[in-house]
Structure 1
Amino acid sequence: MKESTPVRPFPPVSANGNATTPAQHHAAHTGGEPRPLIRVIDAVALIVGIVVGAGIFRTPSLVAANTGSPELFFSAWLLGGAVSLVGALCYAELSTTFPHTGGDYHFLMRSFGKRMAFLFAWARMSIIQTGSIALLAYIVGDYLSQIYAIGPYSSAVFAALVVASLTAVNILGVHFGTGTQNILFAIELIGILCVVVVGLSISPSPAALEALPAAASGNTGAMGLAMVFVLLTFGGWNEAGYISAELRSGSRKMVHVLVFSIIIITTLYLLVNWAFLKTLSIERMAASEAVGIDLMRVTWGETGVLFIGLLVVMAALTSVNATIFTGARTNYALGRDFTVFAWLGRWNKKTSAPVNALLTQGIIAMALIGLGAITRNGFQSIVDFTAPVFWFFFLATGLALFVLRVKEPNIRRPFRVPWYPVTPIIFCGSCAYLLYSSLAYTGVGALVGVGVLLSGMLFLLIAKPKQKQ
């Protein structure tokens, strides 16, 4: 059966009592489709690994500059965790009711049709996911270049090597991809906890602390802008939707995966920021360009600076690997539904990996890395390029929850978002605000990203959906 086959009002049920998709039912007989091989712990490591990246060592200073007091600073991070939890509850209903390798792509198709789903898959392949991969790879490249430079384009070369290597790891199969993720995540988690322990237990050097610049006290800044940075730092948990059909214990467990992930992420962020604030003060944080490096320099000296540099590299590698793993799933779903991209919809049953989708994603990401090398401002350019498109489709997915409640009211929902419709309204309002902010505060790169999205409409003229079978 193809994914385009209409779903029954009550999906077929597997031996363990969980609803299955047509793709899963087909997999049980042929092995040529995604199979439920991912454990809950693997899924949590993927989601936390995507979210808790290098951003936590940069954005706290921006949040401090726009809050001005420890109370508002911590309130912003707590609010970020609460908003993310609200969004996770919305995604839990979608991913448990409609488990599918396509994730958001599948939700948008069921609610708004193939045209919207196609545009999302196009955006994810050309802007959102590949841009995120290039962005994270650049972080690794920038830090490695500080350790060992190999020429004027060191960052771009290292970034391209990271993408090529981790793409190859994921082509080897789901076990290699999730196994690598678990190892990277464990190392990253240990490193972050070390930073927390150092910040909370070692007194800073008075001379080193005095040498750091400090922002003017009493600056209240803009709480709204602070939330933009906080929610961007929390971004990425929605990738859980792309592995809902591959969860070994069944899609119902996606509720646990999402809630546990958000709790872990929020706890880590609060601990790290507590360590930053205790050691540096809100004024020094607000003036810092690299708050993690400043913390380690005043407590551990230059040895600590080297440690934090390696930790940032490890955090970025963890996020790159997880983003590569989940990103290719949308490309695969696109190939399953549209003839023009049929070559993307091939699943290697031996390794349980979408090989063509992974290769395509890697090539586009490396092309964006090359573009960043040419502009010489790769990191900021890619941020501007991806943000508006990302938040537009995030908002659309939130609206899909309302649409599907109306269009498919009788389908069995293993989990229903609590306090409906208030909860999804809060989520959609947050997405709308960030969409506005990403257009208002970014540069020309945002317009380029929107232009690339609109160019996808040209493909709609030649993209023919596969016939239902």
Structure 2
Amino acid sequence: MTADSRDAVVDQGRRPTLTLWDTISLLVGIVVGTAIFKSPGMVFRSVEAVWEAIGLWVAGGALSLAGALCYAELAAAYPRSGGDYEYLGRAYGRGMGLQFAWAQLLIVLTGSVGSMAYAFADYARDFWQLSDDYSLWLVLGSIVVLTATNLIGLRAGATAQNILTTAKLAGLAAIAVAAFTGSHRSDLLQTSPGGGRDIGLALVFVLYAYSGWTHAAYVAAQVREPQRRLPQALLAGVGVVTLIYFVINLSFVVALGSAGAASSETPASDAVRVTAGDGAARLVSLLVMLSALGAINGTVLTGAHVLSELAIDYPGLAWLQARGGRKGTPVRALLLQSFVAILLVLAVGTAPGRGSVDAILQGVGLQAAPWDKYYGGFETLVAASAPLFWGFLLLTGTTIFILRWKDPHRERPFRTPGYPVTPLVFCAACGYMLYASVIYARGLTLIALLPIASAFAISWWHRPRATVGND
């Protein structure tokens, strides 16, 4: 396939739909999910002073910004959908892109969708005072409804994302206002009662809360003026997330004090309860529900475009490329993604499913999954997929060096400031997170390698289309 013919296939049926605000809304909506409502207490318990915890949230933003600067160059130079899939394929060959896309489908992206769906279900049960019997139906319902919304078209999915992100930002702003205007205000220079310092562990929690901003590049071809707007969206989006995390963590300390912030498992609810009463605290459950739904919707919307790009390069997977109607919705990719997410929910989110998974693992000579060690089914899945997530992010960070060398004449409307230091810092952060996630997951890493093994089988049976030149 020549460069021109591949461009024609890539662009077929796609009129750029997403504005700058749409893209920023996607990024913020995906990143600010449920971690900000759980991670702060873990961070405060891992440091000796409040300012250290706040500083780590700022440092996490700075490291994410370094990554966003790298992605801004890549996205502006190669403004096609797929993000990491496109960059890895160009730098390391289409086989590496396939590995990434297949891992996203089988465990990383779909596992994230399932995890967020369970978070939504937990808080929905609390908000509506429902029994545990409703959990599975709430999980499945959230996945099905948001997939159906995106099947209507990209504009429908983006509109839903804008509504959810706006509501989320309004709720977080209300928490901050309540904390800073309430009568319970604590000294920000207090010592944290955590009792010890483990900066490395705290940074793991922080960077986990920042993950997801790379998804903006997955829909590059759908963004208007992508060579200009994508860098703007990446940098502005990460900047907004950093500001949110800085302000909201200050709010928790102001409302609860360092001891309260460190000991609380639900700092947002506790902060609102202290400043505005029990009735207002119940609304935090609604806010977390909206945050989870926003993260699910954004992940579903962007992830399907990775699979659609994969179908362009692999004739044997061309059926995934099918798009619906004039709006060019990747229908089959959305349906497959939803099917796998639901399959994971049933496999690791239910007792019979976990029993079946253990039987399969033992059948191939592996130990049963240590479900209890990682606090349940989906937490175990997240722990297993984390090494893949950070490993591919590290590889993508290195593509900026490789592509500058392999493709020196490519027009680069945006060039990473501080090169090569900026990408080296980003790669170092990813390398640390890869190491930490492998240490945490230990034997579970073998489970995460199963998608990689299946991708090798796919690449053996389905060869990519030949390309000519640097398209």
Both structures adopt the same fold (TM-score exceeding 0.5)? yes
Q: Provide the residue aligned with 2:410 in structure 1.
A: 411
Tell me if 1:5 matches 2:6: no
Query: In structure 2, do the counterparts of structure 1 residues 112 and 468 end up closer, same or farther at CA, with 3 Å as the change threshold?
Result: closer
CA drift at 1:468 = 5.0
In structure 2, how many angstroms separate the alpha carbons of the residues matched to 1:121 and 1:168? 22
Contact 1:215 1:284 in 2 (8 A): no
CA drift at 1:353 = 1.1
In structure 1, how many angstroms separate the alpha carbons of the residues matched to 2:394 and 2:192? 37
**Counterpart selection for 1:195 from 175, 181, 186:** 175
Tell me if 1:339 matches 2:347: no
Contact 2:185 2:255 in 1 (8 A): no
In structure 1, how many angstroms separate the alpha carbons of the residues matched to 2:21 and 2:270? 33
Contact 1:97 1:414 in 2 (8 A): yes
Q: Provide the residue aligned with 1:18 in structure 2.
A: none
List gaps (5 residues or longer) in structure 1: 9-20, 207-213
CA drift at 1:273 = 0.5
Q: Provide the residue aligned with 2:423 in structure 1.
A: 424
Matches within 5 A, 1:273-422: 273-371=249-347, 372-374=349-351, 375=354, 377-422=376-421
Contact 2:89 2:97 in 1 (8 A): yes
Query: In structure 2, do the counterparts of structure 1 residues 306 and 152 end up closer, same or farther at CA, with 3 Å as the change threshold?
Result: closer
Q: Secondary structure in 2 aligned to 1:404? A: helix
Q: 1:378-413: per-residue Cα shift (whole Å, max 9, x none)?
A: 331222132111001001100111110110011111
Contact 2:127 2:285 in 1 (8 A): no
Q: Provide the residue aligned with 1:230 in structure 2.
A: 206
Query: In structure 2, do the counterparts of structure 1 residues 304 and 382 end up closer, same or farther at CA, with 3 Å as the change threshold?
Result: farther
Contact 1:68 1:283 in 2 (8 A): no
- With structure 1 as the length reference, what TM-score do the two structures score? 0.90
Contact 2:117 2:139 in 1 (8 A): yes
List gaps (5 residues or longer) in structure 2: 355-370
CA drift at 1:218 = 6.4
**Counterpart selection for 1:174 from 131, 154, 171:** 154
Matches within 5 A, 1:212-291: 217=193, 219-291=195-267
Contact 2:184 2:254 in 1 (8 A): no
In structure 2, how many angstroms separate the alpha carbons of the residues matched to 1:352 and 1:65? 48
Q: 1:341-382: per-residue Cα shift (whole Å, max 9, x none)?
A: 211112224122101000000010111111222348233122
In structure 2, how many angstroms separate the alpha carbons of the residues matched to 1:193 and 1:140? 20
In structure 1, how many angstroms separate the alpha carbons of the residues matched to 2:296 and 2:191? 33
The AA in structure 1 aligned to 2:418 is: W
CA drift at 1:127 = 1.2
In structure 1, how many angstroms separate the alpha carbons of the residues matched to 2:214 and 2:37? 22
In structure 2, how many angstroms separate the alpha carbons of the residues matched to 1:312 and 1:5? 48
CA drift at 1:305 = 2.4
In structure 2, how many angstroms separate the alpha carbons of the residues matched to 1:104 and 1:151? 41
**Counterpart selection for 2:27 from 47, 53, 75:** 47
Q: Secondary structure in 1 aligned to 2:3? A: coil
Q: Secondary structure in 2 aligned to 1:397? A: helix
Q: Secondary structure in 1 aligned to 2:48? A: coil
Q: Provide the residue aligned with 2:126 in structure 1.
A: 146
Query: In structure 2, do the counterparts of structure 1 residues 442 and 305 end up closer, same or farther at CA, with 3 Å as the change threshold?
Result: farther
In structure 2, how many angstroms separate the alpha carbons of the residues matched to 1:157 and 1:394? 33
In structure 2, how many angstroms separate the alpha carbons of the residues matched to 1:404 and 1:309? 45
In structure 1, how many angstroms separate the alpha carbons of the residues matched to 2:74 and 2:120? 34
Contact 1:205 1:299 in 2 (8 A): no
In structure 2, how many angstroms separate the alpha carbons of the residues matched to 1:464 and 1:64? 50
Q: Secondary structure in 2 aligned to 1:461? A: helix
- With structure 2 as the length reference, what TM-score do the two structures score? 0.89
In structure 2, how many angstroms separate the alpha carbons of the residues matched to 1:271 and 1:252? 29
Q: Provide the residue aligned with 1:16 in structure 2.
A: none
RMSD: 2.2
In structure 2, how many angstroms separate the alpha carbons of the residues matched to 1:199 and 1:57? 15
Q: 1:194-220: per-residue Cα shift (whole Å, max 9, x none)?
A: 0111111112499xxxxxxx9983623
In structure 2, how many angstroms separate the alpha carbons of the residues matched to 1:299 and 1:458? 57
CA drift at 1:240 = 1.4
Q: Provide the residue aligned with 2:78 in structure 1.
A: 98
CA drift at 1:149 = 6.3
Tell me if 1:433 matches 2:428: no
The AA in structure 2 aligned to 1:458 is: A
In structure 2, how many angstroms separate the alpha carbons of the residues matched to 1:77 and 1:406? 34
The AA in structure 1 aligned to 2:3 is: P
Query: In structure 2, do the counterparts of structure 1 residues 216 and 91 end up closer, same or farther at CA, with 3 Å as the change threshold?
Result: closer
In structure 2, how many angstroms separate the alpha carbons of the residues matched to 1:367 and 1:90? 35
Contact 2:185 2:257 in 1 (8 A): no
Q: Provide the residue aligned with 2:7 in structure 1.
A: 22
